[in-house]
Structure formats: C-alpha cells, structure tokens
C-alpha cells in the first residue's frame, strides 16, 4: 500500500481523507533529522504546508509526489524535486476569490481606518467622546497599480473595477487577456499610480523589490498593500518611508519572517496588519485541503496529478 507522510501541522481534513486511501505516517516538523528508517523506506507521497526543503526531499528517497497545501510553493525546493523527477502540486484557483475578497477588505481597512473605528465604538468612546475622526484617506479617485496580474491578481482587479477606480499593472510580460493598462517597469508603475497592490510570488526576482526607491516613487499620498509574500517588501525601508511620511499608509497580510512582525511597523496608526489570513476561511481552507488530497489520490490511483506546478516533470 502507498504510504503518505503528513509533514508539520496538516489540515485535519487532509488526514481524514487520505486515511481512507493510504497508510499515513506523520512528521511533526519539516526536519530531515527526524525522518525514521520506516519513513525513508516506505514514503512515496507527502502533504505539507509550504515546507519541503532539499534536505527533507533527499531524506525520503522514494518520494514521487509532493502535495503542497497553498498556491505559493516557495517553501518547497521545487527545482531540486524536479531534478530528481519528483512531481510537486499546489492548490491554485480554489483560493483566488477568497484572497481577492480579503485584499479589498485590507485596502478599505487601511484607507478608511475601519478597525480603528470599531475599536473606538467598542471602547465606548463614540458615546462618551462623539464620532470617530474622518479618515484622511479614501478609495475615491485612487489609481491602483497591480504588481502581479496572475489568477489572484485578476480577481483583485475585477473587484477593484467594480469599485470604479482606475487600474494599471506591471508584470514581467503584458497579459493580452486583461483590459488594464500595462506599465513596463515597477518604478514607472509606482510613479503612475497612488496605490500599489502586490500579489507576486516569492522568487529570486521579487526579493525586496518594494524598497525606498519604489516607495518614494509612489509618493506622499501613496498606499502600499501586500498580500503576496513578505519577501517582496523591504520592511526596514517601509518603516522608514512611513516614519518620514514618504507614503500615506500600508496594509500587510504577509511578512518576511512570519509569525514575527517587526515592532517598527506596529506603531503606525496608518498601517493595517493581518496575520496572513487572506485564504483563511473554513470554506476555502477545506477546498485547499481537498485539492491536496485529490492530487495524491489522482496520482497514486490514476497516474496523473490534478494541479502539477510548471517546474515539475509531469506535463498535463
Ligand atoms: C498560499 O496559498 O500561498 C497562501 O499564502 C496560504 O495562505
């Protein structure tokens, strides 16, 4: 019987579903040092939440499929896996709309100070002191620059269009399927718009691409929203830009060293911070869990995974 290794904290639905199809072993952390001889011999499939370093891949010599929980698979050494002929799958599509919904919520929270307004009410200050202050920022009249226009980016842009704001975007290549204006560089995009929404993956090319130069280009009325990966933003540069008033605000759902959030970002009232919850609803996490299981079941029972990543040796 096929043996699947559940690595780290795995969604209970994955465990329940896979137990009906495979023998299950569990590894509490993505640490090659804790791989037992039984795991090394028997495991041919794995399920984990964006954690599969090359050392762990090497410690499991019979692995054929790595099923990643999450659309982002930067925590999986995908090139190492591909070089060894191992397939990696992720969970695209099923979370696109949830992440897009959350992005709009984060953007509005950042601009309109809605969490702060609710705290005002809950603290009894509305009744004692009167109405909450007017928000200095608004979505009205904003020009949004999408940094990233993949599946999730397109869902975000579609929602923004319904909010009646202007949208431009930058990615490596223009996408002829989208109706928004393409801008050839991130710097030019930041100069053109007043609100930057980052939804790019963690790759060597995206590291700290949002830095002092880009934040200054965004300008004093500028707002930065990041729902991709913390890696994309230099948090030191962002804290300095907020301190100096180089931009007007920021909304972040992702951080470089999660779950650690820099103290320097906590003190600003014009910053809205979320603990990486963009896809974190019961319905969406269930759908992601099902896709993890479906990939393992489809591969081991029918020979073809459902959502292999592009770097992977398996071609649909
Ligand atoms: C993803 O799917 O990559 C998300 O960031 C996980 O929440």
Domain 96-273, CATH number (from 2.60.40.350, 2.60.120.650, 1.20.120.1200, 3.40.50.720): 3.40.50.720
User: Residue 181 in 3-state DSSP?
Assistant: strand
Ligand 1, atom 7: closest residue by C-alpha: 279
Question: Does the beta carbon of 72 sit less than 6 angstroms from any atom of ligand 1?
Answer: yes
Q: Which residues are catalytic?
A: 229, 258, 276
Judge contact between 92 and 121, C-beta under 8 A.
Answer: no
Judge contact between 96 and 155, C-beta under 8 A.
Answer: yes
Using the structure block, give the residue that is written with the tokens 């060894």.
84
What is the DSSP-derived secondary structure letter of residue 230? G
Measured over the CA atoms of residue 149, residue 152, residue 158 and residue 163, the dihedral's sign is negative
pLDDT the model gives residue 314? 82
Distance of CA 271 from the midpoint of ligand 1 (Å): 22
Distance of CA 89 from the midpoint of ligand 1 (Å): 13
Judge contact between 284 and 98, C-beta under 8 A.
Answer: yes
CA of 288, closest atom in ligand 1: 2
Question: Does the beta carbon of 95 sit less than 6 angstroms from any atom of ligand 1?
Answer: yes
Question: What is the rounded CA–CA span in Å between residue 316 and residue 89?
Answer: 12
Which two three-digit tokens encode residue 252? 């972040």
pLDDT the model gives residue 99? 98
Series of mean pLDDT values for 10-residue runs along the chain (316 residues): 96 97 98 98 97 98 98 97 98 98 98 98 98 98 98 98 98 95 98 98 97 98 98 98 98 98 97 98 98 98 97 83
Using the structure block, give the residue that is written with the tokens 């896809």.
279
Ligand 1, atom 4: closest residue by C-alpha: 70
Question: What is the rounded CA–CA span in Å between residue 65 and residue 299?
Answer: 8
Question: Does the beta carbon of 71 sit less than 6 angstroms from any atom of ligand 1?
Answer: yes
The phi, psi pair for 230, rounded to 5°, reads: -60, -30
Tell me if 3-92+283-302 shares its fold with 96-273: yes
| Pocket perturbation via mutation, ligand 1, pick of 49, 99, 285, 286 by most ligand atoms within 8 A of CB | 99
36-43: Cβ within 8 A, 24+ apart: 39/5, 42/3, 43/3, 43/4, 43/5
pLDDT the model gives residue 297? 98
Is the domain 3-92+283-302 a CATH 3.40.50.720 member?
yes
The reported pTM is: 0.96
Question: What is the rounded CA–CA span in Å between residue 58 and residue 40?
Answer: 9
* Domain spans in the chain, listed from the N-terminal domain onward: 3-92+283-302, 96-273
pLDDT the model gives residue 316? 66
């Amino acid at each position: 019987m096929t043996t699947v290794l559940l690595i780290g904290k795995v969604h209970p639905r994955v465990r329940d579903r896979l137990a009906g199809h495979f023998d299950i072993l569990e590894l509490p952390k993505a640490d090659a040092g804790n791989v037992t001889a039984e795991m090394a011999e028997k495991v041919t499939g794995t399920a984990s939440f964006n954690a599969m370093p090359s050392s762990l891949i090497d410690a499991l010599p019979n692995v054929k499929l790595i099923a990643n929980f999450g659309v982002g698979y930067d925590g999986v050494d995908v090139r190492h896996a591909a070089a060894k002929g191992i397939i990696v799958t992720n969970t695209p599509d099923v979370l696109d709309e949830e992440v897009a919904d959350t992005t709009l919520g984060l953007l509005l929270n950042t601009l309109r100070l809605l969490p702060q307004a609710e705290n005002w009410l809950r603290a009894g200050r509305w009744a004692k002191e009167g109405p909450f202050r007017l928000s200095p920022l608004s979505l009205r009249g904003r020009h949004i620059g999408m940094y990233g226009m993949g599946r999730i980016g397109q869902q975000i842009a579609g929602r923004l269009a319904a909010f009646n704001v202007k949208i431009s975007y930058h990615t490596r290549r223009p996408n002829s399927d989208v109706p928004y204006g393409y801008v050839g560089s991130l710097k030019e995009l930041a100069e053109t718009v007043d609100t930057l929404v980052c939804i790019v993956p963690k790759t060597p090319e995206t590291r700290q691409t949002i830095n002092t130069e880009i934040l200054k280009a965004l300008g004093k009325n500028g707002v930065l929203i990041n729902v991709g990966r913390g890696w994309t933003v230099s948090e030191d540069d962002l804290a300095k830009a907020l301190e100096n008033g180089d931009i007007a605000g920021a909304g972040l759902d992702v951080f470089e060293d999660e779950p650690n959030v820099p103290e320097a970002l906590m003190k600003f009232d014009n910053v809205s911070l979320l603990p990486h919850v963009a896809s974190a609803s019961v319905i969406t996490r269930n759908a992601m869990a099902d896709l993890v299981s479906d990939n393992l079941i489809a591969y081991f029972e029918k020979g073809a995974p459902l959502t292999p990543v592009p770097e992977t040796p398996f071609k649909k």
